[in-house]
Amino acid sequence: MKLKRRFIALMAGLGVSVTAHAAPEWDERLYNPAPLKDDVVLPMPCGGAMTFRQVHVPVTKPLDDFPVQVGQDGTGWGYVEQSRPAFISGSFAEAPAAASRHYLLAKYELTELQYDALMEDTCPEPSNRKRFPKIELSWFDAMQFSDAYNLWLRANAPDSLPQEDGALGFMRLPTEIEWEFAVRGGLEVSTAEYRGSRYPMPEGINAYEWFAGAQSSNGRLQLAGLLAPNPLGFHDMLGNASEMMFEPFRLNKLDRQHGQAGGFIVRGGNYLSPREDIRTALRGEEPYYDNQAQTRGRANGMRLALVAPTLTSRERVAAIDEQWQALGLGESEEDGSPGTAVQLATLASEIEDNALQEELQSLERQLRASNQRQEEARNQAIRASLNLGAFLCTKLEDDGVFYAFLADNYRVNCENDSPDASCGMRQSRLAEQEQRLQGLSRYYASSLVESATLYGAAPIEEQVDVFSAILSRNAQLSGLEPYLQTYWQHQREYLDDQSISAEAWLESCKAMAEQ
């Protein structure tokens, strides 16, 4: 470790603060060439800075997580990239009653200037020429850099770090799930766009990522942040420098990962990768060591994640334990008696035969896990039904507006002393539109009643909050929010009095056009 890093660590250990800005502050273009209003900027030595962005996940409680898919089918690398289910959560809550949590990722790949500002003995000269991603790093170099930055921030700018339950956040490499959820666009894209081989690139891949070939990088590393960002505001996540992950590489065994942990993972491809390899599922393995020393790949760089510990306090541990105890218990019986999982646990506690007790406890755990998977599948189905209901409400509005337009035209042209020659055609179109509107209204009511009957009020209300959080983060879908709330209001009315008010619901959706 270099003298500067030893000095910083020593001073931090002694409680002595090293001046945070011993040099003039860098120009913003050196650490954030494409600023956005919700960027999070943290200071660095030598007047430097690093920019982060929040990645939101629609969960609230510490033990909550959100189902996602990672990988991709049909690439020819099934044992490495095949699609599989995964789960993600966030380290930080927006507020005590927030509808989502988040983690943070660096907006750009680590640059030479940022690396030298922290790891060299003297401050580098701020220069655009040092805005290239720092490459030829080993995985251990990434660990050392993360450690040095964590210590420097705690010694010099602890207030700049986000906190969760009183615990300071910390830097590390991202996990594969954190990285892939972010590169695909997270909540900012639709489900179909999320599952694509690349995030949406309306202007074509050349406008967003660097890859091999004369039409792109032309075999040269490029300055960080020159091209357009992905939907979450991150630059160069595919191409330019390959990005190292925190955990070791594992092969894919259909719906799970293989038991052997190998070398470290690199993701995203780089400036030497062919165009067809620039995809969100691309993942590769590199050994931690070659035959002589630590592996330092020609194009290996890094991007930091900013996260928090999980077990932050006794109160947090107690809250997690309480939530865990309730996982997978299932519904109570119709007569109000405890569900099967609770009955098994009670029976096991009363058995004196150790072998039989262990067998019953194992059955209880398996049943709870099965119940938990069913609850997660149910929650996804509820969100799908809410999406459908909100969309149908928009269709009722659109068709209602069109019907009113046709009706107005008919009154103007046909309900007078000299009817228009086209009145027969107008009347036919009006009748067709009325029939279409009534059919759609019946479908809306049927879907609403089936969903309410199948799932009940409490599970639906919980997923309304989750789906609302998803909509709030997706610019393309945010307009659905008032229709979601209208649909949920109609479901509550039905659940309260079991009355199917199709006409009233139709009028309510049609009235959305006037708001």
The predicted-structure confidence for 173-217, as pLDDT tens digits, reads as follows 999 999 999 999 999 999 999 999 999 999 999 999 999 999 999
Higher pLDDT pick, 311 / 424: 311
pLDDT at residue 97 in the model: 65
pLDDT of residue 216: 97
Work out the pLDDT band at 22, boundaries 50, 70, 90.
low
CATH code at 373-514? 1.20.1050
Which residues does residue 294 pair with via DSSP β-bridges, in sequence order?
A: 289
pLDDT at 334: 66
Task: Over range 364-373, report the average pLDDT.
Answer: 91
- Which pLDDT value is given to residue 205? 97
pLDDT number for residue 18: 45
Q: Can you tell me the mean pLDDT for 65-84?
A: 94
Give the pLDDT of residue 515. 72
Among residues of the chain, what percentage have pLDDT more than 70?
94
- What is the distance between the alpha carbons of residues 330 and 335, in angstroms, rounded to a whole number? 14
pLDDT, position 10 = 43
Q: 334 vs 259, 317, 338, 364, 495, CA distance in Å?
A: 42, 33, 9, 20, 18
Higher pLDDT, 19 or 167: 167
Distance CA 124, CA 157 (A): 20
Q: The tokens of 367 are what?
A: 């049943």
**pLDDT band at residue 96, thresholds of 50, 70 and 90?**
low
Residue 418: band (very low, low, confident or very high) from pLDDT cuts 50, 70, 90: confident
Q: 3-state class of 345 per DSSP?
A: helix
**Which neighbouring-strand residues pair with 236?**
none
pLDDT for residue 7: 45
- For the ranges 55-69, 325-339, 383-397, the lowest mean pLDDT is seen at 325-339
- With 50 as the cut, is the pLDDT of residue 270 above it? yes
Question: In the predicted model, is pLDDT for residue 3 greater than 50?
Answer: no
Residue 332: band (very low, low, confident or very high) from pLDDT cuts 50, 70, 90: confident
**Domain limits, the chain:** 3-307, 373-514
Give yes or no for residue 5 having a pLDDT over 90: no
CATH class of 3-307: alpha beta
Residues 511 and 225 sit within 8 Å (Cβ to Cβ): no
3-state secondary structure of 375: helix
Per-residue pLDDT tens for 110-156? 999 999 999 999 999 999 999 999 999 999 999 999 999 999 999 99
pLDDT at 15 over 80: no
pLDDT at 17 over 60: no
Which pLDDT band, with edges at 50, 70 and 90, does 339 fall under?
A: confident
Q: Is the pLDDT of residue 16 over 60?
A: no
Q: DSSP secondary-structure letter at 512?
A: G
Average pLDDT over residues 350-372: 89
pLDDT at 9: 46
Average pLDDT for 393-421: 89
Axis-axis angle for helices 354-414, 457-473 (nearest 10) = 70
Residue 257 has pLDDT above 60, yes or no: yes
Mean pLDDT calculated for residue range 223-252? 98
Hey, how many other C-beta atoms are within 10 angstroms of the C-beta on 272? 18
Task: Sort 109 into a burial class: Cβ within 10 Å, 0-12 / 13-18 / 19+.
Answer: buried
As a whole number of angstroms, the distance between CA 309 and CA 97 comes to 20
At 504, give phi and psi (nearest 5°): -65, -40
Predicted confidence band of residue 78 (pLDDT cuts 50, 70, 90): very high
Who's near 248: CB < 8 A, 6+ residues apart?
Answer: 261, 262, 263, 264, 265
The pLDDT score that the predictor gives to residue 396 is: 95
Predicted pLDDT of residue 353: 85
Chain segment 441-456, per-residue pLDDT in tens: 999 999 999 999 999 9
Q: What is the pLDDT of residue 349?
A: 84
Residues 6+ apart with CB under 8 A from 139: 244, 264, 288, 294, 295
Residue spans of beta strands (DSSP E) within 364-508: none
Percent of the chain past pLDDT 90, that is, above it, reads 77
Q: Are 423 and 410 in contact (CB under 8 A)?
A: yes
* Mean of pLDDT over the chain: 91
- pLDDT value for 19: 42
Contacts (Cβ under 8 Å, ≥6 apart) of 40: 51, 52, 53, 54, 104, 162
What is the DSSP secondary structure assignment for residue 334, as one 8-state letter? T
Helix/strand number for the chain, H first, E second: 13, 16
